[in-house]
Amino acid sequence: MSDKPAVSSVQKGDVLLVLVDNPPVNAISQAVRAGLKEHVEKGMKDAGTKAIVIACEGRTFVAGADIREFGKPPAGPSLQELLNGMEAGDKPVVAAIHGTALGGGFEIAMACHARVAVKDAKVGLPEVKLGLLPGAGGTQRVPRVAGALVGLDLCTSGRMVPAAEALKFGLIDKIVDGDLREGAIDFARTLVGKPLKRSSQQQQPFDAAAFDKAAADVLKKSRGAMAPAKIIDCVRASTHGDFKEGEAVERKNFMELLVSDQSKAMRYVFFAEREVLKVPSLEGVNPRAVTKAGVIGSGTMGAGITISLVNSGMPVTVVENDQAALDRAMTRFKSTWERDVKLGRIDQATMDKRVALLTLTTQFEALADVDIVIEAVFEEMKLKKEIFGKLGKIVKAGAVLASNTSYLDIDAIGESSGRPADVIGMHFFSPANIMRLVEVIDGGRSAKDALATGVAVGKRMGKLPVVMGNCDGFVGNRILAAWRKVADMMIEEGAYPQDFDAAMEAWGMAMGPYAVGDLAGLDIGMRRRKEFAHLRDNEKRDTGAIADAICALGRYGQKTGAGYYKYVDGKRTVDPLVTEIIDKVSKEKGITRKPISADQMTSWVHATMVNEACKILSENIVSRPLDVDIVKLNGYGFPVWRGGPMQEADRVGLDKVLATVKDVHKVAGKGFEPSSALEWMVANNKKFADIKPGDLKGK
């Protein structure tokens, strides 16, 4: 460990420049808090110092709390003590912001008497993403400076605010074009001898009706998450009374969240998203060099993949069947980037550079010299085999050939190429330029460095790659298929789609399964059921009758105006015809329908997820429970505040989950037997948190 202090200072004439240096992101460790307190107090006491500037070494301003201190007893000084003392000082303190000032880092800046920043700096309060709230005055100082609506937005969204927007809100006072530190020192000198603007003492006009509406919108979107509701309480407290009263409300709510199951789950996710990138089976394996890519197909998925690659700075060759498809693709690419320019996310020069990275063609031969090809055509094995047969002959040796398939056999696709070691799966999620998850699939004969390349390219695209073995549906869709059958079974037994969707959404899912089905298109599932009908095990309960009856009427979901629901002017309504279809199917199957509680719906779905995940772990498709959690959280709308199905199972208790699995099995029958791995865990009093990579293999 370095003996270099986390905080130092240097005198610049009558200004003390205090420097934080705690790589890699200047996190607020105990040493940083103590160092800041020491050097700021030194400047306050020194007669020759007229002002103080706080700046940071390295690539960023203070970017938040030190995650290494999570869960440990607090060590003084507290951040509140530091900030309140600094703000109360009689000499101006100016924050010089570059990179990002996030969480506690932004709270440090807000306790300064002024803030200057470089033009590409960003600020924000992302604590809500950990199930927490800003606990060092953030919910009080930000709304007192920028207004309650801005404070509510920043604290509940956790979004990063660009410097120009922060300037407009009054959250920074100046954007520095030249040297940041010199600009901050000059600005600090202009404040000497003038009344100091203390964030805690400011107050903006408050529109109660507008705030109530914004708060209601936040609660509607949060779907059971605790932190947004607590933040609303805190921000509201900033609009009346003095700072001390608001700070007390903030402290009380912060401490309640800190010990909550929700925050514990979200902090688990924070660490799991970092751990999932450390793939045990690829330890020490270097990826192949990738400088240019190819994408086959420019529909919704192919276009999203292309946009993500180009946004990462990668030249991309797009292959389509005809020029008309390519013209549509270019229109889609440009409209996406034009929207980004309009929203201020990029400038026109950046858009022009991105367009220049594109090559659009109908010729497969144009892919001869690319380093990775990602195929994104229709989900049909015959077509994919044909394409990979061409790629195996055309694309240079050593290039990685990836299929964006959601459930097809990567082994079979790899064999068709004649070079299976180069073939991997890369299952993206729609819209691929927005969704973070990508399942990277080992085709059995896939080379380790090909898999490592898939991971590296995914990370470059800003994705969260999860490596897994080959099976029908891989991890995400395999688990989805299992619990959707249980959902369909409960619809036959007594529930209705609107009841089920309402229960799952109240439980925290972004959308219920039947609304999702209508959105995605019911014809996709219909074609899959027909394609694999000859492989169906007749001893297993068939739950596709209701969906087939709905599809037989040409009702494929939103695109046809009707599916499980009816859609009029974009509004979803319950359709009595669907109720009739469901009742008829139940009667034909000899089922006496009975009411099913929301608790049964959600507990049976969750238990089925966990049971199928245990089978996946036993088969070593993935080796860690966290792999499953990251997939379900980032691709399937699982509520983040529950931490993923495996984390949620630990909270519920695996003995209770196993009992529910047994209840499901009694009704669902073959295919839903309790996993032997789950039974082993219960018998041995294990939790998923106890499981190390490979522990459940063969169990």
Angle at 427 between CA 545 and CA 379, to 5 degrees: 50
Angle at 559 between CA 500 and CA 426, to 5 degrees: 80
Which of these is catalytic: 41, 81, 127, 380?
127
Chain-centre distance of CA 518, in angstroms?
Answer: 23
Main-chain dihedrals φ then ψ at residue 361, nearest 5 degrees: -155, 160
Residue in the structure block whose two tokens are 């199951």: 261
CB 388 within 8 A of CB 401: yes
Which of these is catalytic: 107, 492, 612, 648?
107
**Which amino acid does the sequence have at 168?**
K
| Helices (H), ranges, 552-623 | 576-588, 598-618
**Which amino acid does the sequence have at 534?**
H
Q: What is the side-by-side order of every strand in the sheet holding 100-102?
A: 100-102, 122-124, 160-162
DSSP E strand boundaries for 455-561: 464-468
Active-site residue flag, 127: yes
* DSSP tally for the chain: helices H, then strands E: 28, 19
Radius of gyration of the chain (CA): 28
Is 347 strand, coil or helix?
coil
Q: What gap in Å lies between CA 350 and CA 312, rounded to an integer?
A: 12
Say which residues have a Cβ less than 8 Å from residue 592's Cβ, sequence separation at least 6: none
CB 650 within 8 A of CB 678: no
Q: How far apart are the first and last CA of the chain?
A: 42
C-alpha pair distances (Å), 612 with each of 152, 473, 671, 678: 40, 12, 10, 10
Active-site residue flag, 107: yes
Which region holds residue 662: left if phi is over 0, alpha if psi is between -120 and 50, else beta?
Answer: alpha
Say which residues have a Cβ less than 8 Å from residue 284's Cβ, sequence separation at least 6: none
C-alpha pair distances (Å), 161 with each of 155, 165, 571: 11, 6, 33
Catalytic residues, by residue number, are 107, 127
